[in-house]
Amino acid sequence: MYGGQNNANGQIQQQPVSQLGPLPSGWEMRLTNTARVYFVDHNTKTTTWDDPRLPSSLDQNVPQYKRDFRRKLIYFRSQPAMRILSGQCHIKVRRSHIFEDSFAEITRQSATDLKKRLMIKFDGEDGLDYGGLSREFFFLLSHEMFNPFYCLFEYSAHDNYTLQINPHSGINPEHLNYFKFIGRVVGLAIFHRRFLDAFFIGALYKMMLGKAVALADMEGVDADFHRSLQWMLDNDISGGILEQTFSTEDERFGVMTTEDLIPNGRNIEVTNENKKEYVDLMVKWRIEKRIAEQFQAFKEGFQELIPQDLINVFDERELELLIGGIAEIDVDDWKKHTDYRGYTESDEVVQNFWATVRSWDGEQKSRLLQFTTGTSRIPVNGFKDLQGSDGPRRFTIEKAGEITNLPKAHTCFNRLDLPAYKSLEMLQQKLTIAVEETMGFGQE
* pLDDT, greater one: 437 or 289: 289
Over residues 212-227, the mean pLDDT reads 89
Asked if the model's pLDDT at residue 57 lies above 50, the reply is no
Kindly report the pTM of this predicted structure.
0.69
pLDDT at position 250, please?
Answer: 86
Asked if the model's pLDDT at residue 30 lies above 80, the reply is yes
CA–CA dist 266, 56 (Å, integer): 55
pLDDT at position 160, please?
Answer: 59
Asked if the model's pLDDT at residue 17 lies above 50, the reply is no
pLDDT at position 128, please?
Answer: 61
Torsion of CA 175, 180, 182, 186, to 10 degrees: 160
3-state helix, strand, coil in the chain (%, to 5): 45, 20, 40
**What domains can you pick out in the chain, each with its CATH number?**
18-81 (2.20.70.10), 88-208+292-324 (3.90.1750.10), 215-287 (3.30.2160.10), 331-437 (3.30.2410.10)
Per-residue pLDDT band for 115 (boundaries 50, 70, 90) equals very high
Asked if the model's pLDDT at residue 5 lies above 60, the reply is no
Residues in contact with 389: Cβ distance below 8 Å, sequence separation at least 6, in sequence order: 158, 219, 223, 224, 412, 413
Cβ–Cβ < 8 Å for 206, 244: no
Tell me the C-alpha to C-alpha distance, in Å, between residue 384 and each of 15, 256, 363, 393, 399.
50, 38, 22, 9, 22
Beta bridge partners of 163: 155, 200
- State phi, psi for 44 to the nearest 5 degrees: -120, 0
Per-residue pLDDT band for 15 (boundaries 50, 70, 90) equals very low
Per-residue pLDDT band for 219 (boundaries 50, 70, 90) equals confident
Cβ–Cβ < 8 Å for 164, 290: no
Give pLDDT tens digits for 388-401: 655 678 899 999 98
pLDDT at position 99, please?
Answer: 96
pLDDT at position 1, please?
Answer: 32
Q: Please report, rounded to a whole number, the percentage of residues in the chain having pLDDT higher than 90.
A: 48
- ∠ CA 350-352-357, rounded to 5°: 100
Positions marked catalytic: 412
CA–CA dist 145, 182 (Å, integer): 7
Over residues 65-75, the mean pLDDT reads 72
Over residues 405-414, the mean pLDDT reads 85
Per-residue pLDDT band for 157 (boundaries 50, 70, 90) equals low
> Pairing mode, if any, of strands 46-48 and 85-93?
unpaired
How confident is the prediction for the chain on average, in pLDDT?
Answer: 83
Asked if the model's pLDDT at residue 64 lies above 60, the reply is no
Asked if the model's pLDDT at residue 344 lies above 90, the reply is yes
Over residues 300-326, the mean pLDDT reads 91
> Pairing mode, if any, of strands 116-122 and 2-6?
unpaired
- ∠ CA 250-251-257, rounded to 5°: 60
Tell me the C-alpha to C-alpha distance, in Å, between residue 243 and each of 215, 226, 251, 259.
21, 18, 20, 16
Give pLDDT tens digits for 75-88: 888 899 999 999 99
